Structures are given as structure tokens and as C-alpha cells.
Amino acid sequence: MKKFFSHPPRAHAPDYVIVVCTFLLVVIGLVMLTSASSDLGQLHFQDSYFYLKHQILYGLSIGIVLFFAAAGGYYRQLEKIATPLLIFNFVLLGMIFTHFGVASGGSTRWLQLGPIAFQPSELLKISFIVYLASWLSSQKKRNQDLMGGYIPFLVILGITCGLLVFQPSTSTAAMLTVVALVMYFVSGARVSYIAGTFAVGILILGALLITTPYRLQRVMTFLHPNANTQGSSYQLNQALIAIGSGGWWGVGYGQSTSKLHSLPQPIDDSIFAVVAEELGFIGVLFIIGLFLILILRSFILASRAPDSFGQLLLVGFGVLIAVQAAVHIASNTGMVPLTGVPLPFISYGGTALAIFMAISGIMVNISRYI
């Protein structure tokens, strides 16, 4: 094993499909953020480009550094830091419940360490997938065992989701559960284990809905979107109006009227609605196409990966991007209850942008050894 790590195979040119799709999505995100945030920036900070500057400074600049750092070197070195990285991330999540935690919108998801504020749950998307890929690939023969594989898998998944649910960040916990189950299945786990975990997850989600009124309200709004159009279902209805206004070709870049007064959270939770209104169905189709190409490319590369660790990383990251993009779009179109899930690479949020660029960097790294 030491010899393997000290003499990695010769690297070749990266997969440019991933590179192009990533940076096209990032550029589209910055362009759309400029439009969606201009009025908000002028209203709150007397600067139409405030949010764009913030995204470039704390998201794009850090993201570019992380992308090239992750794309270089040899991806199997990540196995060495998988466990310490996850433990460190757990510590950061625990610190949220101390005086370092910052509450926003009824949730405590931000950590303030001096001048630096970030979301540990975004970093968890990398550390959890890297750890799971390392652990599952190191004991493939035991992944079908109850005590040697399934129970430890449930323990690590339970700890991860528990820390997220208490923030609360139920949507992130649900997404990582889906990612974990797909990775576990690909590693050779029994279908009965996957089905059992899914069933238990549904029961836990049901219990959370019953015991927390705001979660139940979101579900009721989803089931009855026209029941309270000026109250709980206001955001969904305004998003649907904005999307419908876009038609085939959109109303034109910068011409959205919904983003001015009627559409809540136009730069993050509802940015898809702004995109659909200004760029129309054709513009939305182009963006979804980029996501599909990026996701499918990750799965194609996974099928060619030289080892189980690289394969599981590519599968995990591909599923994460697919699930998060699908949940954001579906919540804006009334197909699932509204969530605070950002659209990868496009929604406002420096931590999220930097982390997804790092994820793309790791995917590019693996492609250099296939």
C-alpha cells in the first residue's frame, strides 16, 4: 500500500467535459445573480453589485483555489485524511450549538469564527462522501454483513443526519441519506439493507413532520398550494407566476418584475424562478442540460474508474449534484415541498459555491487517472 501511494500512476489530460460544464454553470450563476440581486443590493446596501462582489470574493475566488488544488495531486491521498476530516467537520457542526453559531431565518446553520462565517453543512457534503467512499472501498467483502457492514453504516449515517436535523437542516440530511444509500448499493450492499434503511428514513421523516409544526406546514402548503396564497403558500405561488411569465424565451435578461417585490429569496431559494422568468424555457433547458451532462459524465467516469475509491467518489458526487439540483428545481415548481436547498453553482452563497467547485476539482482529478 505504501508503494502504491508513493508511486501514483502517470496522470494525463483531465476530462474537459467536467471542466467546461462546471465553469459554464459558474458563469451563468454570476450573470444571473447580477440580475437577481441588483435591486436587493441597492435597497439594503446602496450598491447594486453588493451580492455579486460578495459572491466573487467569498465564493468564486476561494472556489477557484479549491478547484485547482483538488484537481492536482493524486486523489487517493484523500483516503489518508478521510476520517480526520469527517471528525473535524463533526466538531464544527457541534460548535454551531455554542455561542459561535449564527441564527438566520429560524435556523442556526452558520459558524462565525472571527471575521470568517461559513456553513459546516456544506463542507460536510465533501467530508461525508470522501469518508464513506474510503470506508466502503476498504471493506467491500464485509459490506453485505449485518454487524461488520450495515450496522456501522447506520451509525455513521445516523450521527451525520442527527447533527443536521438539530440545526435544523432536514433537507441536507435527506439528500445525504440518498447519496449514502446509492454509494452503499454500488459498493455491493444487499438490497434488503437499502430498502430497510429507506423505510426507516420515511418513518423518521414522518415523525419529524408530526412533531414540528413548521415542517408539517410546508407539506400542507405543498398539498394545498392555493389554500393561503398570501400566507404560507405565498412564495410557491409567486415562484410559479414568475416561471409561467417566462414562456419559451423569457422576458429578457434583467427584466424580471417578480424579483423586485413579490418573489421572496430571489437570489438563493428562488433563483430558478428568476432564471425561468428572464431566460424562459429555452434558457432553463440549457442549464438543466449542463447539469445532466455533468452528472452523466461523472457516472460514465465512475464505470471506468481504476479503483473502488475513485468509483464511489464519482458516484457520490454525481448523485449529490443530481439530487440537490432536482430538489431546488422541484421545490420552485411545486413538485416537492419548499426547501432552502440552493441550486448548485448558481444560487447565492459563497460556501456552497466554493464547495461545489472543490467537488468538481476532485472529479477532474480522478478523470486524470482513468
The confidence score (pLDDT) of residue 33 equals 97
Cβ contact 273:250 at 8 Å: no
User: Please, what is the angle between helix 170-186 and helix 151-165, to 10°?
Assistant: 160
The confidence score (pLDDT) of residue 62 equals 96
The confidence score (pLDDT) of residue 115 equals 76
Cβ contact 201:177 at 8 Å: yes
The confidence score (pLDDT) of residue 131 equals 97
The confidence score (pLDDT) of residue 3 equals 41
pLDDT in tens, the chain (370 residues): 444 444 688 888 899 999 999 999 999 999 999 999 998 999 889 999 999 999 999 999 999 999 999 999 899 999 999 999 999 999 999 898 887 877 766 667 788 877 778 889 999 999 999 999 999 998 876 766 777 778 999 999 999 999 998 888 888 999 999 999 999 999 988 888 889 888 888 888 888 878 787 777 888 877 777 776 676 778 888 999 999 999 999 999 999 988 887 888 899 999 999 999 999 999 999 999 999 999 999 999 999 999 999 999 999 999 999 999 999 999 999 898 888 799 999 999 999 999 999 999 999 999 999 8
Distance CA 167, CA 68 (A): 32
What is the SS3 assignment for 47-71?
A: CCCHHHHHHHHHHHHHHHHHHHHHH
The confidence score (pLDDT) of residue 245 equals 92
Distance CA 221, CA 208 (A): 16
The confidence score (pLDDT) of residue 139 equals 80
The confidence score (pLDDT) of residue 302 equals 97
End-to-end CA distance of the chain: 19
The confidence score (pLDDT) of residue 1 equals 40
b/e sequence 262-287, b meaning 16+ C-beta within 10 Å: ebebbbbbbbbbbbbbbbbeebbeeb
